[in-house]
A and B are shown apart, each in its own frame.
Chain A
Amino acid sequence: MTTPRPNPSRFPGGRSAMSRRQLLARAGALGAAGVSLPALLAACGSDGGSESSGSTPGTSGGTTPGTSGGGGDMELFFENWPAYIDPTEDGATGTVDRFIEATGIDMRYTEAFNDNSEYFAKIQPVLGRGETIDPDIFAPTSWMVGRLITLGWLDKLPIDQVPNAANLRPDLQKPAWDPTGEYSLPWQTGFAGLCYNIDVTGREITTVDDLFDPEFAGKVGANYEMRDTIGLIMLSMGIDTSTLTTFEEAAPAFDRLQEAKDSGQIRRFHGNDYFDDLTNGNLAITIGWSGDIAALARDNPSVRFTFPETGAMSWADSMIMPKGAVNRDAAAKWMDFVYDPVQAAQITAWVGYVSPVAGVQEEVEKLDPELAGDPLIFPDDATLANTSTFALLPEDVEAQYDAAFSAISGA
């Protein structure tokens, strides 16, 4: 499967027309819809499948000799989501290559992380047996980070060697999925809220209750990401999502979703592939991600994102290190490098997601003032304060949530 590279030069400030998630949708790599099964089966019995095929032309390092810094012959391997970092192209030096230049570390950067569950299935037989996988760093979504921490499959990050970690946005410090903040550093973050096509709805959407408005029967979508869909509904019912410990607390939200599914209110559940349905009118309103809409609303201003009045869900794809990862010093240098607002601004300007690094807005201002004013990428403090995280659930409780959700989504 070839992933088309977006061409940032078409847009002011070098921004990509496609966000990471949308790119996935385009490539047909729709994790939730599950085209990844063959990949999973192929990976079974391999050594963790870490000889990834998704290396990025132009960013995979290792060829540029160190020019400065004391990297010596240090190595580093970061496996990340596709289209999630600025590549070296059109005369601009990508972050990986700038890092290699600055430190002399032989860095390998691949884009083989396509789906949390699929990747988990790949690493489970390896990490579960107490062996380690090849990447020193990878960046799953928050809930998966929490699961891996609970399973004890991660090493603590060398935070004491990362002075710039102090730049971490205050609302992301010691998050629900990593209560001590020792295991993860967010890579990029975003919000789940309501996405709608105003041509179809005919009005502004402001609340989660609009999902259940009979006026939109059969034109409502829901997200396969359980925590985003159920989380938003829970917030709208006044249930705190960050302190959940049992299934019973969430049961009313599941009931509400079940009712909507049974009555035909919900047309389909989707992963990354909802944008086409929004633009062609199949869906009037659904649950989606701010980053997608920030990038794509430029092509289609009818499609909008809103932070519901009752609050949006906040997520983060976070850098973590598997147990037994060897290149800890190099990893610390890398994390320090990308937590420098100057460097982080380059990444933000290209990927268009919400940066976890404080002070990035000022730096992006210098690169692309229009982007720096985008409320979906730099939400104000009031909006940030009205976002919630999803609690880290105990293993058996999480199983209950997952089973209940998949019963509703039809699988």
Chain B
Amino acid sequence: MTDSVTSTGVKRPELIGLGALVGAGALLTAVGTRLLTGPIAIVALTLVLASVVLLIVVAVSGTPESRRKIAPYGLLKPGMLWLALFYLAPLFTLLRLSLSTLPSRFAVEAEFDWNFDNYLDAFTDFGPQFERAFTYAAIATILTIVIGYPLAYVIAFRGGKYRSLLLGLVIIPFFTSFLIRTIAWRSILSDQGAVLSFVDGIGARWLLEVVGIMDSGRFMNTPAAVVFGLTYNFLPFMVLPIYVSLEKIDISLVDAAKDLYSTSTSAFAKIVIPLSIPGIFAGTLLTFIPAAGDFINAAYLGSPNTTMIGNSIQDQFLNQNNIPLASAMSFVLMFIITVFVLIYSKFFGTEELA
């Protein structure tokens, strides 16, 4: 295969593949964001369809060489188109909205006018809510590691034939709506509920007050309750990835370390933990990101002084009808989370995930 032309006369099939992929994705995004509307949108959609057909034609009629070059783009195409329509288009719409102004409070269309004030408002008016969201999410994430790691460890290494059963028990709460489970905690942890009665019974109330878990004689509707709710609701998302990474560890490595006079502790620290870092990393992402945007726990277990940014965004969307501001707040949230994740992955390194 020198530069001999393929049977259809195509010289660089991979360029056709790439062009068809990117072009179709861009067109679909444009239609999805309603940049293109009416007859032009129909033309654009026809072009998207044509690009799919073109890709197939070039791939089928080409030489094995060109087919091999074009295959990756063909395989990427369904995913790309899906992302363009259901991820990129909404994201761009949100971005556009966040820079728009509503002509009147209940206007249907916001006017796009590079209104950066929305971002200014998002930062200045909702500082405490952002702060709480990240503080609570960070504490909850750490707690899920502290609770989840030993749990995953026991299931992976000591579970034996009960492994599946134990894992099932971790997942079983998912069978009930997490809303219902969160609401249930309100009764269980109520001022006159079973838990606080027990705490009183063993005379431990003062201890909880001292460490700040209880506030003015109650547990419900305190910051601790919100963090507790987040920890409870996201625990399985931490346990499962850690379990998967622990389960892959060859236990004979630990035996080998001990043969070389390592203590159990240092074998654990030097072998098990490093090998399970990918699990902790994945679990942290699965826990921290949704926890930072969560609004259910703060709404049901919190007080007016513990609302998180998710509650504020929801309120701006639904009750204040300030969709541009809500969009800007969503973007700020996304931005901060992205920065956190980048910094975090710098330390733990995604290459470890392999």
Question: A residues near B, CB below 8 A?
Answer: 28, 30, 33-37, 40, 117-118, 121, 124-125, 128-129, 147, 151, 217-219, 261, 264, 266-269, 273, 276-277, 280-282, 395-396, 398-399, 402-403, 406, 408-411
Of A28, A129, A277, A406, which is within 8 A of B319 by CB? A406
For B172, the chain A residues whose CB sits under 8 A away are: none
Q: Which 4 A-B pairs have the closest CB atoms?
A: A411-B315, A128-B108, A410-B304, A410-B307
Which residues of chain B in 285-328 are interfacial with respect to chain A, using CB atoms and an 8 Å cutoff? 295-296, 299-300, 302-307, 311-312, 314-315, 317-321
From B187, B295, B296, B307, give the contact of A276 (CB < 8 A): B187
B192 within 8 A of A: yes
Contact A261-B305, Cβ < 8 Å, known A37-B314, A129-B108: yes
* Residues of the B chain whose Cβ atoms lie less than 8 Å from the Cβ of A409: 304
Of chain A, the residue at the smallest CB distance from B182 is A28
Distance in angstroms between the alpha carbons of A85 and B107 in the assembled complex: 34
Whether A281 contacts B311 in the complex (CB less than 8 A), given A117-B318, A128-B108, A261-B304, comes out as no
Question: Chain A residues with Cβ under 8 A from B296's Cβ?
Answer: 35
Partner of A281, one of B190, B221, B302: B190
Q: Shortest CB–CB separation between residue A351 and chain B, in angstroms?
A: 24
| Residue B105 lies at the interface, judged by CB distance under 8 Å to chain A | yes
Identify the B interface with A (CB < 8 A): 104-108, 177, 179-180, 183, 186-187, 190-193, 216-218, 220-221, 295-296, 299-300, 302-307, 311-312, 314-315, 317-321
**Nearest A residue to B296, CB-CB:** A35
Q: Is the CB of B190 within 8 A of A282?
A: yes
* Residue contact B319 to A395, C-beta cutoff 8 Å: no
In the complex, A404 Cα to B175 Cα: how many Å? Answer: 39
Out of A125, A217, A402, which one reaches B320, CB within 8 Å? A402
B317 CB contacts on chain A under 8 angstroms: 37, 40, 121
Given the complex, which residues of A lie within 8 Å of B320, measured CB to CB? 399, 402-403, 406
**Nearest CB of A to B225, in Å:** 10
- A125 to B, closest residue via Cβ: B108
Minimum C-beta distance from A403 to chain B (A): 6
**B107 CB to nearest A CB, Å:** 7
Q: Please indicate the chain B residues that have their CB under 8 angstroms from the CB of A273 in the complex.
A: 183, 300
The minimal Cβ–Cβ distance linking A285 to chain B, given in whole angstroms, is 14
Q: How distant is the Cα of A268 from the Cα of B306 in the complex, in angstroms?
A: 10
The residue from B105, B180, B193, B304 contacting A268, defined by CB atoms under 8 A apart: B304
Q: How far is the CB of A9 from chain B (nearest CB, A)?
A: 26
Partner of A282, one of B221, B299, B306, B319: B221
Name the B residues within 8 Å of A129 (CB-CB). Answer: 108
- Asked if A281 and B315 make an inter-chain contact with CB atoms under 8 angstroms apart, the answer reads no
Q: Taking CB as reference atom, which chain A residue is nearest B300?
A: A33
Given A35-B296, A40-B318, A281-B186 contact (CB < 8 Å): no
Cβ-defined partner of B318 (8 Å) among A37, A125, A269, A282: A37
Contact B319 A117 (CB under 8 A): yes
Per the bound structure, the CA–CA distance linking A96 and B305 in Å amounts to: 46
Interface centre among A40, A129, A403 (most CB of B within 10 A): A403
Minimum C-beta distance from A268 to chain B (A)? 5
Given contacts A402-B319, A411-B315, contact A267 B221 (CB under 8 A): yes
Label chain B's interface by main secondary structure: loop
Complex alpha-carbon distance, A36 and B318, angstroms: 9
Query: Residues of A contacting B300 with CB < 8 Å?
Result: 33, 273
A80 to B165, CA, bound (A): 46
Q: Is the CB of A280 within 8 A of B304?
A: no
User: Which chain B residues border A402 with CB–CB below 8 Å?
Assistant: 319-320
User: Is the Cβ of A128 less than 8 Å from the Cβ of B304?
Assistant: no
Q: A395 and B106: CB pair below 8 A?
A: yes
Given contacts A280-B192, A282-B186, contact A121 B318 (CB under 8 A): yes
A266 and B315 contacting across the interface, CB-CB below 8 Å? no
B306 and A410 within 8 A (CB)? yes
Cα A264 to Cα B302 in complex, Å, equals 12
Query: Once the chains bind, are B183 and A399 in contact (CB under 8 Å)?
Result: no
Contact A218 to B315, CB < 8 A, known contacts A33-B299, A395-B105: no
Chain A nearest CB from B315 CB (Å) reads 3
Give 21 A-B contacts (CB < 8 Å), ordered by A residue.
A28-B177, A28-B180, A33-B299, A33-B300, A128-B106, A128-B107, A129-B108, A266-B303, A267-B303, A277-B190, A280-B186, A280-B193, A281-B192, A282-B186, A282-B221, A395-B104, A396-B105, A398-B105, A406-B320, A409-B304, A410-B303
Residues of B within 8 A of A217 (CB): 216
A34 touching B318 by the CB < 8 A rule? yes
Report B-chain residues with C-beta under 8 Å of the C-beta of A398: 105
Q: How far is the CB of A99 from chain B (nearest CB, A)?
A: 33
- In the complex, the answer to whether B216 meets A410 with C-beta atoms within 8 Å is no
Closest Cβ of chain B to A375, distance in Å, is 29
Contact of A34 among B193, B299, B302, B303 (CB under 8 A): B299
On chain A, the residues within 8 Å of B183 by CB distance are 28, 273
Q: How far is the CB of B103 from chain A (nearest CB, A)?
A: 11
Cα separation A217 to B218 with both chains bound (whole Å)? 11
Taking a contact as CB atoms under 8 Å apart, the answer to whether A124 and B311 are in contact is no
Residues of A within 8 A of B314 (CB): 34, 37, 411
A280 contacts B106, CB within 8 Å? no
**Are A268 and B318 within 8 A (Cβ)?**
no
Contact B312 A411 (CB under 8 A): yes
Kindly report which residue of chain A lies nearest to residue B126, judged by CB atoms: A411
Q: Name, among A34, A125, A406, the residue most crowded by chain B CB atoms within 10 Å (CB to CB).
A: A34
Task: List, in ascending order, chain B residues with CB within 8 A of A269's CB.
Answer: 304
Contacts of B192 in A (CB 8 A): 280-281
B204, chain A: closest CB distance, angstroms: 20
Q: Bound state CA distance, A129 and B109, in angstroms?
A: 9
Task: List the A side residues contacting B318 at CB < 8 Å.
Answer: 34, 36-37, 40, 117-118, 121
Whether the Cβ atoms of B191 and A280 lie closer than 8 Å is yes
Chain A proximity of B136: nearest CB distance (Å) = 14
Pick the residue among B106, B108, B218 that contacts A218 (CB under 8 A).
Answer: B218
A399 touches B305 (CB 8 A): no
A396 to B190 Cα, complex, angstroms: 40
Bound CA span A273–B301, Å: 12
Q: Chain A residues with Cβ under 8 A from B303's Cβ?
A: 266-268, 410
Q: Which residues of A contact B186 (CB under 8 A)?
A: 276-277, 280, 282
Residues of A within 8 A of B295 (CB): 34, 37
B106 near A151 with CB under 8 A, answer yes
Nearest B residue to A25, CB-CB? B183
Question: Which residues from B are CB-within-8-Å of A277?
Answer: 186, 190
Complex: chain B residue closest to A35, CB-CB: B179
Asked whether, in the complex, the Cβ of A147 is within 8 Å of the Cβ of B218, the reply is: no
The answer for the CA separation of A398 and B320 in the assembled complex, in Å, is 10
Nearest A-chain residue to B132, judged by Cβ? A410
CB-CB under 8 A from B315, the residues of chain A are: 34, 406, 411
**Closest Cβ–Cβ distance, residue A286 to chain B (whole Å):** 13
A154 to chain B, nearest CB (A): 13
